Structure 1
């Protein structure tokens, strides 16, 4: 069994801060993250030296503790059996659905439907907000856009 490498005080303080910041993470992920950061720090210190300059370089490579902690998965709620509060739907998603429904009423103006579809795609790709509501708006906007295109084609074919 190998002993944990001795780190310079700056790196030790960083690791302690990271461990504290990961306190709300899943235990397995917290352990894996700490092990990975320790391994990276040991390799980097071996490469750059364990003096203060090497320690600062390691900390610059790792980045802020808050950024690492923010990327971790939060631990499950402590109250077992208690239902989780539903996440609030952002106002932008509510307006997105309103626009999509309006595009159905205004299907003769395909620009409204196109705007709803584009906005829904942008929000879905950004990964923000309520994905179900965004998918609903995308579907409604697409139906409206297809309906407007069908109406246009039938009008052109009719002469």
Structure 2
């Protein structure tokens, strides 16, 4: 088991503030968000240096804790007021429409712009860390396959015409 990287005190304080700010968030999303922020901080500190200047630069890149916490999904509460472990997590409508767009790009793969839009949108949603990552990955793969098919069709047309 590997130990978590040691962060400068400024980053540790930021992470502690973030953990407190995410206390009312969905537990799974809270864990994913904290892991993503820790990973980004470790990578950025390796790039910029682990001194105070590097730590400040990393914190500037991450932005205010309140902004990250505001983007998180609140934890669902059951009838007793506690977390609703039995409830299935809600799939954001944006992710459903993303998959619909990706599948539609297969139907109209001669228009690679639709597939490109699905790929870009899926990549943006994946990088944001919000929503259903499974649906986002599915849309990314389907859109990429559709785009590759459209590109292959275009290239074969050029070869046949030339």
Q: TM-score, normalised by structure 1?
A: 0.49
Q: TM-score, normalised by structure 2?
A: 0.49
Larger of the two Rg values belongs to structure: 1
